[in-house]
């Protein structure tokens, strides 16, 4: 049962105390964002900004939302995945001034979409000036059903690979109405969040949901982007024999040189014990793959949307279904084989675990805060397109993180700078 007010929709405000403790624990590991929050509190660069955010409602997101609020923004937050909301965090944020929350863990599809709409509604006929997306659901809405609310948006940010892909499609079709910063493409985001964050949290989810040994098992990673690299690396570190499936020849070659076996999924499906999709595409593991999997194979998706597994086909093949552990469903097929589905095929590292560690989200959300500050400036000069994170801001995030860790860098001499700027070798 949810507690609903005229302004918010959360599970229960009574969970707020636990949520405050959870956010405080995350904030201890987020020094770069903390430095930005202190500056935001002094400078108030987001004064007057109406910010609509669709993000995983976790403790780390709580730290980001507080930073945006302290910078002057009025924030309306909804979940970017029905299973990713930490209800105690939602309750803690709902108690704070300047923040409205629309997120309930396990919410059904109609509720999820109602919350998206509510996050966009800052008042009668009043929409956001800045949006912050994780999957481009808000951006899609203001370009389709809520076009009137999108008229006042000066820009936005996008957190994940899938969302950036959707936005670039909109830009290619000539329909994108305002600039979007591809935070996902910042070096201090995808090199760390996607690789180390997804790698650790996905393996954490497999262990929590199954309590099975990875050492000696065959672990199939479908897709070798930065997220796939991270999952493969961590699975191998646990002693698994990693097999990678790919459609891109360069990524496949890279996987081979990283020491992994590369096979077509039609072959890998027969030998895998664990399967994880991180491809950013639909129907990666399909009916023909489920049909040849071993008895006891465990299947999960770590991509943003739950379409990477052909779930309708899997459910049609099953003659019996039952939950055998939290976040783990057994599907018995007509020939007696049992396949195990983690977290309903949704984003497994949040559906069966707690998502990325705060340490790595510090980098991602520092980027988000700086990108929001950039697009909120009246003189940002950005066209209605998808823009990369400015390198100066990317490096600023890295420097903040290094400073927090007490790490110093070398500085080039004047002669070295002249050498790099010269046109003739040796001058």
Distance CA 116, CA 139 (A): 10
pLDDT at 3: 44
Block residue for tokens 């003739």: 424
Residues 361, 30 contacting (CB under 8 angstroms): yes
The chain-wide mean pLDDT, for the chain, equals 95
pLDDT at 425: 53
DSSP state of 247: S
pLDDT at 5: 41
Which residues lie closer than 8 Å to 286 by C-beta, 6 or more apart?
310, 313
Residue 31 has pLDDT above 70, yes or no: yes
User: Which pLDDT tens digit goes with each residue over 369-419?
Assistant: 999 999 999 999 999 999 999 999 999 999 999 999 999 999 999 999 888
Residues 13, 91 contacting (CB under 8 angstroms): yes
pLDDT at 311: 98
- State mean pLDDT over 355-367: 95
Q: Is the dihedral of CA 390, 394, 400, 406 positive or negative?
A: negative
Which domains occur in the chain, in start order?
3-189+356-404 (3.40.50.1480), 198-351 (3.40.50.720)
pLDDT at 150: 84
Residue 2 has pLDDT above 80, yes or no: no
User: Which pLDDT tens digit goes with each residue over 294-318?
Assistant: 999 999 999 988 899 999 999 999 9
Alpha helices in 318-413 (DSSP H): 348-351, 358-376, 391-404
- State mean pLDDT over 344-357: 94
Residues 286, 310 contacting (CB under 8 angstroms): yes
HSE-CB of 189 using CA atoms within 13 angstroms:
25
Distance CA 21, CA 89 (A): 9
What dihedral do alpha carbons 32, 371, 116, 350 form, nearest 10°?
-40
Q: What is the DSSP string of 190-256?
A: IIIIIIIIHHHHHHHHHHHHH----TT-EEEEE--SHHHHHHHHHHHHTT-EEEEE-S-HHHHHHHH
In which band, very low, low, confident or very high, does the pLDDT at 138 lie, cut at 50, 70 and 90?
A: very high
172 sits in which H/E element: helix 161-172
Q: Label residue 125 left, alpha or beta by phi (over 0 means left) and psi (-120 to 50 means alpha).
A: left
Residue 4 has pLDDT above 50, yes or no: no
The token duo for 220 is 């199939």
CA distances from 377 to 35, 250, 274, 350 (A): 20, 39, 47, 33
Residue 426 has pLDDT above 70, yes or no: no
The helix/strand/coil state of 15 is helix
pLDDT at 424: 56
Distance CA 216, CA 241 (A): 6
Residue 181 has pLDDT above 50, yes or no: yes
The helix/strand/coil state of 226 is helix
User: Among residues of the chain, what percentage have pLDDT more than 70?
Assistant: 97
Nearest by Cα to 227 from 102, 347, 387: 347
In which band, very low, low, confident or very high, does the pLDDT at 7 lie, cut at 50, 70 and 90?
A: confident
User: Which pLDDT tens digit goes with each residue over 59-102?
Assistant: 999 999 999 999 999 999 999 998 899 999 999 999 999 999 99
| Partners of residue 157 on adjacent β-strands | 132, 181
CA distances from 365 to 157, 183, 250, 398 (A): 11, 9, 30, 12
pLDDT at 151: 85
Residue 346 has pLDDT above 90, yes or no: yes
- State mean pLDDT over 11-26: 97
Any idea which of 35-39, 74-78, 418-422 has the lowest mean pLDDT? 418-422
Alpha helices in 28-95 (DSSP H): 31-43, 59-70, 87-94
In which band, very low, low, confident or very high, does the pLDDT at 124 lie, cut at 50, 70 and 90?
A: confident
Residues 156, 171 contacting (CB under 8 angstroms): no
């Amino acid at each position: 049962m949810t507690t609903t007010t005229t302004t918010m929709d959360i599970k229960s405000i009574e969970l707020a105390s636990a949520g405050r403790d959870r956010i405080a624990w995350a904030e201890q590991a987020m020094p770069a964002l903390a430095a930005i929050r202190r500056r935001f509190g002094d400078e108030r660069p987001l004064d007057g900004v109406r910010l609509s955010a669709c993000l995983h409602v976790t403790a780390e997101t709580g730290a980001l939302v507080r930073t945006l609020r302290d910078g002057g923004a009025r924030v309306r937050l909804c979940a970017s995945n029905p299973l990713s909301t930490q209800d105690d965090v939602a309750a803690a944020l709902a108690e704070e001034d300047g923040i409205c929350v629309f997120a309930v863990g396990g919410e059904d599809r109609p509720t999820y979409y109602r919350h998206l709409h509510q996050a966009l509604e800052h008042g009668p006929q009043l929409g956001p000036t800045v949006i912050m997306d994780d999957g481009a659901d808000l951006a899609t809405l203001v370009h389709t059903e809520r076009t009137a609310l999108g008229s006042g948006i000066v820009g936005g940010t996008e957190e994940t690979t899938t969302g950036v892909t959707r936005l670039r499609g909109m830009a290619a079709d000539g329909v994108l109405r305002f600039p979007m910063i591809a935070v996902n493409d910042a070096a201090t985001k995808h090199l760390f969040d996607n690789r180390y964050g997804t790698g650790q949290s996905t393996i954490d989810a497999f262990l929590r949901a199954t309590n099975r040994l990875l050492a000696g098992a065959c672990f199939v990673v479908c897709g070798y982007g930065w997220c796939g690299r991270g999952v493969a690396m961590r699975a191998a570190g646990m002693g698994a024999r990693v097999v990678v499936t790919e459609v891109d020849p360069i990524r496949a070659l890279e996987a081979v040189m990283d020491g992994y076996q590369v096979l077509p999924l039609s072959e890998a499906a027969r030998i895998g014990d664990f399967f994880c999709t991180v491809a950013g595409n639909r129907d990666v593991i399909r009916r023909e793959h489920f049909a040849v999997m071993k008895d006891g194979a465990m299947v999960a998706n770590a991509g943003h949307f739950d379409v990477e597994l052909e779930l309708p086909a899997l459910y049609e093949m099953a003659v019996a279904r039952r939950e055998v552990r939290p976040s783990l469903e057994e599907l018995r097929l007509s020939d007696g084989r049992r396949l195990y589905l983690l977290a309903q095929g949704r984003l497994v590292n949040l559906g069966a675990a707690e998502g990325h560690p705060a340490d790595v989200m510090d980098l991602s959300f520092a980027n988000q805060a700086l990108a929001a500050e950039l697009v909120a400036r009246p003189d940002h000069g950005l066209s209605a397109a998808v823009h990369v994170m400015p390198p100066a801001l990317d490096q600023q995030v890295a420097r903040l993180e290094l400073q927090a860790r007490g790490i110093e860098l070398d500085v080039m001499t004047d002669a070295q700078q002249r050498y790099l700027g010269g046109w003739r070798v040796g001058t």
